[in-house]
Structures are given as structure tokens and as C-alpha cells.
Amino acid sequence: MSPAQSSHSDTEEKIDNLQAETQDIFTDDSLDPVYQAKARILNNALQEIGMGKYQWFLFVVAGFGWLSDNLWPIVTGLILDPVVNEFNVLGPWLKLAQNIGLLVGAAFWGVSSDVWGRKWAFNITLGMTGLFAIAAGGSMNYVALCSLAAVWSVGVGGNLPVDSAVFLEFIPASHQYLLTVLSIWWALGQLLGSLVAWPLIANYSCPTTVPPSPCPRSSNQGWRYFLFTMGGLMMLLWVIRFFVFDMYESPKYLMGRGRDEQAVEVVHKVAAYNGKTSNLTIEDLRGAGKLADTPVDDDAPMDTSVLAAVRRKMEMFSSSHVQSLFATRKIAWSTTILIILWAFIGLAFPLYNSFVTYFLATRGADFGDSSTYITYRNQVILSVIGVPGALMAGYFVELPYLGRRGTLAIFTVLTGVFILASTTARTSNALLGWNCGYSYTSNVMYGVLYAISPELFPTKDRGTGNAIVATANRVFGVMAPIIALYANLTTSVPIWISGAIFIVAGFIALLLPFEPRGHASL
């Protein structure tokens, strides 16, 4: 047998072994056969390396993105009351500015990660958030604050589409559930924001009075200290990402771009980082392409001129990534359901959670305990309750007969139920109890939602797919503050609307055609 035939036979054997060990999510003709064959080879190589030091370090630095994604929407909710008191303005404008920034960030960073790669987007977002958040702490007026909040939110909006893709593309199939466990960082972001805001805003803010009394800047520095602190934290996390952790470009991204040699090189670097070796060779990937009956012309000349480079970049912005997400009937159905889920939850979550501080304060006023201290204490309690929810999400998604789809459906419905139940509270403690239930179930729900979405998108289009669902989430998120500008927030109506949307979304989740549990992501 010739060396070429031997290599061809080895490649066939590797593909057959992987199909026996870890089935991929997509079946039949859902994906390009060349891409699918090469993705299986890379999945096999990553499974061979196993979960090691590189992936655990990545779990931490990718977790920074999850932390940021939940921290900053919470930040604007926490500073809302003192900002309104100082500038005597309508609070929802700040939320609107933030959500517009999140929308832009989700669309831009997700698509750019499919164009220029994951690495630069992964390294820029946290630094951008921290820099403009620190600047926002020195805002002289409400317009400046809203403008800077919009810009820092552009950075925040990139965390979900980019970080989930980066993490998923480096972990072996046996540890894919860790994408759900990453939501522990999401819960920690809420807890961290609440803990830091409690002493700063409670002790360095003007009291909330009816009617509003004058609130000079000198007596209301708490929210500025809070922004300086959180912005400084983001800069520290950015330094760790950029200077301490040496992130490699995603091998699946490189393979999807036709850069097989670099993909193999990265796999070997990860193996070396983990103290192991990999048997992956460039012949394996080339052989996979030949098995798919696709001619490979290695001798074709490549135009290396500046004009050609620019032309190739522009071609990358074509609609091919979007078209791939609707290539077959089943994939189109899956993508559509995910878009609907993210859109519905994008409206329901900020409608309720962005104004929960104000809601608790007004209910507390009815119950006679509306002090700033009590309000932020309750926020900390809710944040603590969310942490075990994020941890349990990783357990639930691996249960037989439940999996990602069942867990998402059940806990999305329960989130809506607890929200509706909160409107029945007649005491402050009862309201806090219902909100604790909501905090737990919503953290499980988000943990699964953040994981199942990138799992159901193929690598070469994952950034774009994540960008589409995140954009749908942010577009509907923009509606929440607009509703708040014209609705009476002292009533329970926004709460009823939010709860009903969550319940409907839970039933929609059951319509997802793919169940990622036990399958390797492509």
C-alpha cells in the first residue's frame, strides 16, 4: 500500500471512529460534507487531547465575558435612582441608550468574529467596556452619561456571540456541558454588581423623596464611585485576557476559512500547553476533503496584492453565512425558533429585571420599608440565589429525557410563573421570596439558552448565528425602555406582560428540532 493510500485509509478510520464515539448534532445533508468531515477530524483531535490546562484557563477568561454580559445591564438598573435624582430626568432613556449599544455590539462583533477571527474580538470587548465606563463616571450631564453608556454597551454586546463560540470550539465533546456551567460567571456578575453597589450607592447617594428634592453632585457621588470601580475591574480583566492568557485562534474557524495548516498547528499548541501530544496531521484534513469527493488544488496560485486582500475581506461580508443557517428545512426551523426565543426573552427580561430595583422600592414604600439600604440588600439576596441556579443548569442539561431542550422549556415557564406570582405579594418578605424563585429559575434558563444556541450553529457560521439571535434579543430589548417611558411602572401590568412572555417562550422551546445532549458540536 502506498503512503497516500495509507493516509487515506487512516483518515477513513478516524472519521469512522469519531462517528461511533461522538455523533454530531446535524444529520443527513444539513452541512457541507467537506466541512463536516473536517470538523469531525478536529473534534476527534480535541477529544484525544482531553480537557486540560488550556481549556480550564479558557473557562476562566471566557467567563469574564459572561460576567460582563450580566453585570452591565444590572449596573444601569442599580444607578438608575441616584442618576434620576441628580439630573431630574426620565430614567428609561438610560436603558434605551444601553440597549441600542448592546444591539450594535451584538450585530458587529458576532459577524466580525466570522470575518476576521475570534481572537481580536475576544480581546477587545472587555477593554472597550472598561474604558468608556470609567469615562461615564465623570459625566457632567445626562446626555453624556447616556452616550457613554451606549458606547460601553457596544463592547458588552460582543461577549455572548464571541466568547461562547471561542469556548465551544476548544473544548472536547465530552465536556460540552461546561458551556452551560459558564453561566456561573453570569450569576457572579449580578452578585458582584449588587455587592459593590450596596455600600457605595446606599451610603453616598441623595435620599429618594416624593416630590423630588434637590440632589447636588457633591451629595450623590455613589453611582460615580460605582462606575469607576466596575470600569476598573473590566480593565483588570482585559489585562488578564490580553497580556496573561495567550489565546490561540480557533482551529475550527481556521479550518472553515481553508487554513488547514494553521488549524493543525493550533491543535498541537493546545496539546503542548496541556502537556500532551496530538496525532493530527495536515494529511488528515486534506484526506477528509478528498473523501467528500471535492477536488483540492494545492498548487493554485494566490493573489497576494493589497487589492486582492481587500477584495477577499469584502467577500467575507457576503450573505453566505446567513444563508447557511437556513440551508435546509430542519436547520432553518432550528434557527427560526432560536431567533424567536431570544427575541421574546429579550423583551421580557429587561422589562422586568432592568426596573426591579425601582419595583422593589415602590413595593417597599407600600410595605413601609423603602430605604435605599433595604432595596440594595434585597438585590444582593436575589443575586446570591442565582448562583446555585447557574451551577444546577450544568447538571440538568445532562439528564436523560430532559437535556438542553427540556431544561430550557421547564425553567423558562417557571421563570414566568414566579414573575406572575410576585404580583400577589402582600408583604415585603413575600415579594422577596417570589423574586428569589425567579432569580433561581432565570439563571438556569439563561445558562441553558447561552449554551444551546452556539451548540446548534456550525462553526463556520457560529459567530453570525450568535450575532443574529443576540441582535434579535437586543432589538426587542430596546422596546422595554420605550414601553417604560409611556407605561405606568407603579402598576403590575409590565410584570404580567413579562411573565406571560416567558411562559409562551417556554412552550416554544419544545419546538427545537435538535437536542445537543450527547452530540459533538460542529
Question: Is residue 3 assigned to a domain?
Answer: no
Dihedral (Cα; 158, 162, 164, 165), 10-degree rounding: 160
Contact by Cβ (8 Å): 333, 30? no
Residues of the chain with pLDDT under 70: 1-32, 208-212, 289-321, 353-371, 459-460, 487-492, 516-522
Beta bridge partners of 24: 520
* 254 contact partners, CB below 8 Å, separation of at least 6: 117, 260, 262, 263, 266
Question: Is residue 13 assigned to a domain?
Answer: no
Q: Phi/psi of residue 338, each to 5°?
A: -60, -40
**pLDDT at position 8, please?**
45
**pLDDT at position 489, please?**
60
**pLDDT at position 4, please?**
44
- Pair (185, 326) in one structural domain: no
Centre a 10 Å sphere on the Cβ of residue 295 and count the other Cβ atoms it contains. 6
Decide: helix, strand or coil at residue 427: coil
Q: Report how far residue 80's alpha carbon sits from residue 205's, in angstroms, rounded to the nearest whole number.
A: 11
Q: Report how far residue 442's alpha carbon sits from residue 440's, in angstroms, rounded to the nearest whole number.
A: 6
Question: Is residue 203 assigned to a domain?
Answer: yes
- Pair (465, 511) in one structural domain: yes
Domain count, the chain: 2
Question: Is residue 21 assigned to a domain?
Answer: no
**pLDDT at position 196, please?**
92
**pLDDT at position 330, please?**
85
Q: Could you say which of 311, 341, 370 is where a domain stops?
A: 311
Query: For 257-324, where are the alpha helices, taking DSSP H only?
Result: 260-273, 282-291, 306-315, 320-324
**pLDDT at position 179, please?**
81
**pLDDT at position 28, please?**
45
Q: Report how far residue 191's alpha carbon sits from residue 408's, in angstroms, rounded to the nearest whole number.
A: 23
Question: Is residue 165 assigned to a domain?
Answer: yes
Question: Is residue 395 assigned to a domain?
Answer: yes
Q: Which domain holds residue 96?
A: 30-295+304-311
- Pair (263, 373) in one structural domain: no
- Pair (431, 384) in one structural domain: yes
Q: Could you say which of 259, 284, 311 is where a domain stops?
A: 311
Q: Any idea what the CATH number is for the domain that residue 369 is in?
A: 1.20.1250.20
Q: Report how far residue 150's alpha carbon sits from residue 19's, in angstroms, rounded to the nearest whole number.
A: 46
**pLDDT at position 17, please?**
46
Contact by Cβ (8 Å): 97, 477? no
- Pair (343, 492) in one structural domain: yes
Q: Report how far residue 304's alpha carbon sits from residue 260's, in angstroms, rounded to the nearest whole number.
A: 18
**pLDDT at position 88, please?**
86
